[in-house]
Structure 1
Amino acid sequence: MLEREISTLRDLLNTYSWLQQLAGILPLSALIDFLDVPHALHVFELTGCIPLWCWPVTPSGSRLLLSPHTTEEPCCLDKFGNSQSLICLDGRYGDMYNAASPETLRLCLDSAPRTLVVNDHQNMLDNHPRPQNLTVVHVSGLDSAGGSRSSWTLLGASTIGWILLLGLIVTTIALKCYISAAFLLVIPATGTIVYITRGGDPPTLRVTRGSNYNRLVIAALHMNETDWLAFYGEATIVNALLNLPLRMKRFSRANHWVFGVSLRLLVLGQWALAIGAASTQSWDAYIITFWIVLCIFSNIFVFSTHRCCGDWLRKSAGFRLIRIETKLSSRRALLNTLVALNPDTIPYDSVTMQDKQDGPFPSSLLWMDPILKNCAERAIWEEATWMAMTTKPDSKEHANKDENSNKDETEKPDWSKNYMQYYWCKFIPEGILMADKIRKAGNLSGRFVK
C-alpha cells in the first residue's frame, strides 16, 4: 500500500514537468531571499525564545554565527557598527554618550504601549520649517520579575513545532524522502549548537534599584534629528538601560573549538541537502521549502519582536516601558518642553526638600550644548524660560486663543514683555503646556520616585 502511494507521488512529478522545475528553484530561493538570521539571532540572544527547530541558516547568517565572539559580548546587533548608534544626553549632568544597547532599545520600544498627546497650541497652525517628533518613554521597575522567560503562547507554539517536526520526519522516512528527512534532522541540531554558543539565561540589567530620584535622558540618532526620545524614570534604571551594557549569562565553555567546527559542518550540511533536493527535483525539495517557509513565518508572526521582547521586559529585565508621543512646532518648542519636563531643572534644598527659585540647577542645561550652543542669546532665552516656568503663565490661554480676539501687548504675561522681540518667545508657552500634558498622560511623578 505504501509503495503504491510512493509510486503515485513520483508519477505525479514525472507527469507535470513544471512541478519538477519548481522543485529545483524553491529551496534555494526561500533560503536566500527571506530569512533574517541577524535579527533572529539578536532576539534569541536577548530572550531565548526562538526554538531549536527554527534555525535554517543562510550564507550571510553563517558568517555571523561563526564570527569570533566572547561570552561577555552584547547581543549581536548591539555591537558597535552592527546597527545605528543612539546618542544620549544626561538631563542632570549633561554627559553625552552612546547607548550601550541601541538595537535592544528599539526592539523594546516597539513592544511598549503607546499614548498619543495632541498638541493644540496656536503655534501648530503656523508653517514652521522643521516640526519635531518627541517620544517620552516612561521607565518604571517591576516587583514581580522572574518566573518562566516565555509566555504560554510561545511555549505552546514551540511545542506544536516539535510535534510537527517529529511527524514530518516520520512521514519523510516512510515515503523514502531521505534528503528532506536528513534536512529536518540537521535543523534542530544546528539550533542546539546555536543555543550552546549563543544561548544561556536571558541578559538582565546590571542595576535595578537604588535611587529615589527620577532622571531624564534625551536620545537621538544625531543632534540635527527631528525624531527625539526622552527616557524618564528612576535614575538607576534609566542609567542601567542606556549607559551600562546588559549582564550576559552565556555558557562558560561556549567558545570551545568543537562547537565551532560542528556548526560549520551543520550549516554546510543544510546547504548541501538543499542543493541536493533542488538538483534531484523530487518531493524532498517541496518538504524542505515547506519547513523553511514555516520557520520564516514563525519568526515573523509567532516568535515576533513584540511578543519576545515584551516577555523579556517583564520576566527577565524587570521593568516596564510606556511611550507618550507628541508633535511640536519647532526645535525651540522641543527644547522648552524638555526643559520643563526635566525633573532636575529646578533645584531643591536637600534639608527642607523644597524647590529653590534662584535659578535652574547649574548643570541641568548642559545637555543642550550639542543641540544649541551656549551664547549670549541662549542666556536670554534661558532667563525667559526660567521666568515663564516659575511665574506659571496661563499656557492654556495661549494654546486655545480665540481667532476673533484682538489681544494687545498689555494682555501678554508679565514675563514675556521684555522678550517679545525674539522669535523664540512664542515657543516657551507651548513647551510648558506640552510638558504638563505629557506629565499627566504618562503619570510622571516629578522629582521623586513614588
Structure 2
Amino acid sequence: ENNASDDSVFDARSKGDASWYKPKENDEVYNFFSNHSEYGAGVHYAQTFVISPKNQRIRLRLGKGGYTRIYLNDAIIHDSKNQFITELDAFTYEVNLQKGVNRILVKSVTNGTVPFFIIRLEDLTGSPLKDYTISFENRIYEQNSIADVDPIEIPNEFEVYFKNKLNKKNSDINLSKFCLFKVYLRTGKLSEAIELLKEWSKNYPNSSFIKSCLLECYNKTGDEDALKKLESNILRLDPEYYLSLMLEFENSDELFNLDIQEFNSKLNKMAELIDYPFMKPTTDFFISIRKNDRIEMREKLDVLLSDQTLPIGLKVAFSEFYSTFFNDDIATIDVLKNINSSQYDWEIIIYLAYYLNKNNKTEKAIELYLDSLEKFDYDNNILYNLVLLLHESGEFERSLPYIDQALNNFPNSYVFVKLKADALVQIGKKMEAIEFYNLALNRRPFEYQ
C-alpha cells in the first residue's frame, strides 16, 4: 500500500508474488480486475498519479463492486463496509488535492467475484475537473494526513431528494418509498433498504410487491434463510401472484414431479397470469416434454426459440435441447450462430465454440475467439479459452503469441506462465520451458498446490 514503485516485487503470500503494472489501455469506463480472476478471492490494488498545478478543493466520485478502500496520498477517504455492487457516483467526497503529485490508491477485496471501480474527478460545481494531468512516471508524492486531505462525504443527491419527498405533504408516500428503496439498492445500502421495506410492510403486511422487493435484497445479501422463509410466505399467502408462479416455474424439479393433470393446470395458469410473451411457448414446450411426444416437442422448441422476447440466457439453455433431446448438434449450432450474428454475448461465444469444436469445426471455434479478441484484446478470459483450444488441438507454437499477449496484459499471471512452459516443452524448447516452470513455481498460488 505504501510502495508505489514498479521495481518492487511483493510477496502475495498464498497468491504467489506480484508487482505493479500498467494495464493495456481500452475503452472500458469501469476498471475491472477480471484478469486477476485466476487467483480467486483476494486483495487487489490499483493506483494512479494526479498532477495538480495548484492546491485545490475537488470532488471525487466513486462507484464500486467489492469491499473497497480509497486512499489519497495515503490518507483513507473511503472505507466501504460491504462488497455490494453500486452504480456510477454512488459515493461523493470533497477532498484537497495538493499542488504537484497526488497518489490515488484503490484497495479492493472480494470473495471470488470480479471487483471493479470507477472514479471521476469534478470541481465543486459538479463539472468535470479540467485543471489536472495524469502521470505514471512521476511517483514522488508527499504523504498527507486525514486533516490535510479533509475528506467530507457528500450525501447522495437522489437519496436526499426522496427522503425530503417523504416529509412533504401531498406527496405520493408509497412511490417515494419505492424510489428510495431503488436508490439504496443502487448505492449498495442493502441494510437501509431492508429496514425501509420492513417498516413499509407494517402498513401493508400482505403486500406481495413489498415482499418481492425484500427478496431482491436477500438475494443480493446472500441471506438464504430469510430468502427461503419469505418465498414460502409469498407462495402460501398469495399463490396467484405472478412472483409466486415464477418461483414455482423456476423450481422445475418439483414442478415436473406433479401429476400430469396438476402439471398442465399449473403451467396453463402460469402462461395466463405471467405477463411475459415468452411464457406461453415455454409452458407449451414443457407440457410437450411431459407428454413425451418427440414430434410435438420439436415443433414447440422451434416456436419457443423463434420468440424474439426470449432472454438470451434462456435461448442458450433451450438451444441445447436440440443436442440433448434430439442428438442434433447442428440445430444447436444454427441457433447460437443466429444469435451471435445479431449481438455480442460472451456466453454465446463459449457455447458456440464448444459445439463447433465438438463437431470437428475447431478452426471455426478458434475464429470465434479471434473475433472476440479483436474487440477485447485486453481480456485474458478470451485468451485463456483460445490458448486451451489451441493446446487441445496440438497447435502449441501457434499459441505462443497469444500467451505473450496475455502476459503483457497481466504480467503477474501464474496460469499463462505455466501455459507458456507447457507449450515450450511440446515444441522441443525444454531449457526455456524450465525457466518458465521455475517462474510458475514462484508464483503458484496456494489453490494450485
TM-score (normalised: structure 2): 0.21
Q: Decide which structure has the larger Cα Rg and report it.
A: 1
| Higher RCO (CA 8 Å, separation ≥ 6 residues) | 1
TM-score (normalised: structure 1): 0.21
